[in-house]
Amino acid sequence: MAPPLLLLSDIVLTLGGRPLLDGAGFAVSAGERICLVGRNGSGKSTLLKIADGSLLADSGTRFLQPGSTIATLPQEPDLSGYATTLDYARSLLTPDDPGYRATALLDELGLTGAEDPRHLSGGEVRRCALARTLAPEPDVLLLDEPTNHLDMPTIAWLERELSSLRSAIVLISHDRRMLETLSRSVVWLDRGTTRRLDQGFAKFEAWREEVLDQEETQAHKLDRQIAREEHWMRYGVTARRKRNVRRVGELAALRAERRDAIKAPGGLRLEAKTADLSGKLVAVAEGVAKSFDGRDIVRDLDLRVLRGDRLGIAGANGAGKTTLLRLLTGLETPDAGRIAIGTALSVVTLDQQRRSLDPDATLSDTLTGGGGDMVQVGTEKQHVIGYMKQFLFRPEQARTRVGVLSGGERGRLMLACALAKPSNLLVLDEPTNDLDLETLDLLQEMLDGYPGTVLLVSHDRDFLDRVATSIVAAEGGARWIEYAGGYSDMLAQGGRIAGGALDRSGAGSALVRKPVEQPAAATVRKLTFKDKHALEQLPGKIAAHEAEIVRLRHLLTDAGLYNRDPKRFAATTAALEREEAALRAAEERWLELEVLREHLAS
């Protein structure tokens, strides 16, 4: 078995006086597809930083195969110090790497390379960071929440791009559909330690339940053993003049083990406080049109939202999803047509920018409004510490500034604030950003039992499938079409997601490459016999180069090759470089001839 490209073993790291990682680790072999899962705050991003060498652990081993390359997509990319997006996208390339790949990736992701990083949106920052990370085609890719701020077509493109790479991948994501598509193994980070399942994410949740059931059974056995020891302590020691120190120590050890056994994170309980019922009609749109700066956002929209509906709104970034939300809730006035808003509505909104959170306020003051230690939850009051615990915050975090919370913690805080208010209409704009899988499950369960109406904007395909009763999709040309069911039902009915900065086609699924610019009609040449022969032979040559590259890379996975035979190591490295250059040339030649052939055939 080939040695791993990257190995973390017995990693220990303490933050804020408590162990975050306690014996964690994983191994990554060539071409592996691993997803790293765990609750928010469990240390997933920290473990990736240790893996790429940007953070040192207190103890443990990190090994990277000599000559292996590694690239990381951070959760919050920093583009400061770069004049253009192309400068940033090329920043990981070496002089030997082809510069055209960064340019090509930016182009596929809807960026020109000339943009000023200071003026990018969240989605543009994420796309630029993806181009930078993918451009070098490293041996190991570490991806931390790559789908954040991406729209559905871009996520579909990313899935296909990652599937086509030879790189080994370690992926952190809350997007279940992507995890199921890409993963072949799962590393579960839980209470500082890691467990591994050598199957895809689709098998993970059933396996996790088995593990937790086994822990519960073991905890029950410990309870019974503790009861026996306590009986002996009470009734056996009285008959003796001296304590049995060994058995006292064993009881203390058992109790410590029991404490560890029940340290599984407490259950997050999500429950929206409901107000009185709204009217049967929540919103009715008839012939609605809206535009900004001469650009149509909504045109000829007819839509009815009834009490109890869970309406999902899906579209590419920039399609106008938030504008549509504001129209349906009366916060925007249409340019044409009419919108009638229902009666007796109590609206609670969760916005994707989390603008209502004051970064300088403490967590406690945010929940209580600065008014003491009690939180108004519906018609009742709860102590802030108890309410915090329901959302997995520790008591010592009560005085923590909101600005230093992680993205997932800020998401949970927004939910805590929103769900405390009585409502019969929940307006959720990207509520799933940064939430872990367990919190997403609980949010879904809460929405299932919510008696009011839900307006939901999300790029999470699985979440839309689980929650939405209908989908309103942006299909291009400012047209919004409603489909019954979730996202998958929309695709089955022929729906698609269009618009935004990227070229898209198909039933909402694919982001396609921009067409190569065709030569002017006057300069188009015909395919020669040599060209036709090359088109027939090049696929075989490309396959041969790929096979040879795989063979040479396998030779270089031998960690002792350099010390044992430096000349062979140098010759193998040089041969690998030649093969990679030949492969790039063959692919470019094939693409050039294929484009010309398609143009002549059209």
pLDDT in tens, 287-321: 999 998 888 889 999 998 888 888 999 988 888 88
Q: Report the C-alpha gap between 439 and 176 in whole angstroms.
A: 13
450 contacts 272 by C-beta, under 8 angstroms: yes
Q: Using CA atoms, how far apart are residues 422 and 361, in angstroms rounded to an integer?
A: 23
pLDDT in tens, 439-464: 788 788 778 778 888 999 988 888 88
| pLDDT greater at residue 75 or residue 221 | 75
Residue-level pLDDT at 144: 92
pLDDT of amino acid 33: 94
Identify whether the C-beta of residue 161 lies closer than 8 Å to the C-beta of residue 147.
Answer: no
User: Half-sphere exposure of 102 toward its Cβ, with a 13 Å CA cutoff?
Assistant: 21
For 240-275, the pLDDT digits (tens) are: 434 445 545 554 555 455 445 444 444 555 555 555
Whole-angstrom distance, CA of residue 455 vs CA of residue 322: 11
Q: How far is CA 129 from CA 73, 76, 454, 526, in A?
A: 7, 9, 33, 40
What is the pLDDT, as a whole number, of residue 236?
47
Q: What is the mean pLDDT of residues 1-28?
A: 87
Which phi-psi region, left, alpha or beta, contains residue 337 (left: φ > 0; alpha: ψ -120 to 50)? left
Instruction: Determine which helix (DSSP H) or strand (DSSP E) holds 324, and give its type and residue range.
Output: helix 321-328
The DSSP letter of residue 483 is E
User: Tell me, what's the pLDDT at 128?
Assistant: 95
Greatest CA separation for the chain? 110
Q: Given pLDDT bands bounded at 50, 70 and 90, which one contains residue 322?
A: confident
Quote the pLDDT of residue 201.
92
Q: Which of 284-293, 377-386, 554-563, 583-592 has the highest mean pLDDT?
A: 284-293
Distance CA 135, CA 158 (A): 13
| Contact residues for 526 (Cβ-Cβ < 8 A; gap 6+) | 600
Specify the DSSP class assigned to residue 523. Answer: G
Distance of CA 382 to CAs 173, 365, 376, Å?
Answer: 33, 14, 7
Q: What is the mean pLDDT of residues 498-523?
A: 40
Q: What is the pLDDT of residues 328-342, one digit of tens each?
A: 988 899 999 998 888
Strand order through the sheet with 347-350: 347-350, 425-429, 453-457, 310-314, 470-474, 480-484
For residue 597, give the amino acid letter: R
* One-letter amino acid of 578: R
pLDDT bucket at 504, cuts 50 / 70 / 90: very low
Of all residues in the chain, the percent with pLDDT exceeding 90 is: 28
Q: Which two tokens stand for residue 230?
A: 């306590």
Among 580, 554, 576, 572, residue whose Cα is nearest residue 29: 554
Best CA proximity match to 480, nearest among 343, 342, 285 = 285
Closest CA to 574 of 30, 31, 96: 96
Which pLDDT score, from 0 to 100, does residue 564 have?
Answer: 81
Say if CB 329 and CB 306 are below 8 A apart. no
pLDDT in tens, 556-581: 777 677 778 878 877 887 788 788 77
Domain limits, the chain: 6-204, 206-261, 281-346+422-511, 359-418, 521-601
Question: Residue 357 — very low, low, confident or very high, per pLDDT cuts 50/70/90?
Answer: confident
By percentage, how much of the chain surpasses pLDDT 70? 82
pLDDT at 246: 53
For position 486, what pLDDT does the model report?
A: 85
Mean pLDDT of the chain: 80
**DSSP single-letter state for residue 23:** E
Tokens of 119: 């003026």
Asked if the domains 6-204 and 281-346+422-511 are classified in one and the same CATH topology, the answer is yes
Nearest to 447 by CA among 417, 427, 461, 473: 427
Q: What local confidence, expressed as pLDDT, does residue 345 receive?
A: 84
Write down the pLDDT at residue 238: 44
The residue ranking higher by pLDDT, 203 or 280, is 203
Both tokens of 486, joined, read 């979730």
β-strands 504-505, 510-511: how paired?
antiparallel
Nearest to 34 by CA among 204, 211, 265: 204
The stretch 6-30 carries a mean pLDDT of 90
For residue 343, what pLDDT is reported? 80
Please state, in angstroms and rounded to a whole number, the distance separating the CA atoms of residues 425 and 545. Answer: 59
Task: Give the tens place of pLDDT for each residue, 124-162.
Answer: 899 999 999 999 999 999 999 999 888 888 898 999 999
> What's CA 601's distance to the chain center, in Å?
42
Write down the pLDDT at residue 519: 38
CATH of domain 521-601: 1.10.287.380
Per CATH, the homologous superfamily of domain 6-204 is: P-loop containing nucleotide triphosphate hydrolases (3.40.50.300)
Would you call 256 exposed, middle or buried from its count of C-beta atoms within 10 A (0-12, 13-18, 19+)? exposed
Pick the CATH number of 281-346+422-511 from 3.40.30.10, 3.40.50.300, 3.50.50.60, 1.10.3720.10: 3.40.50.300
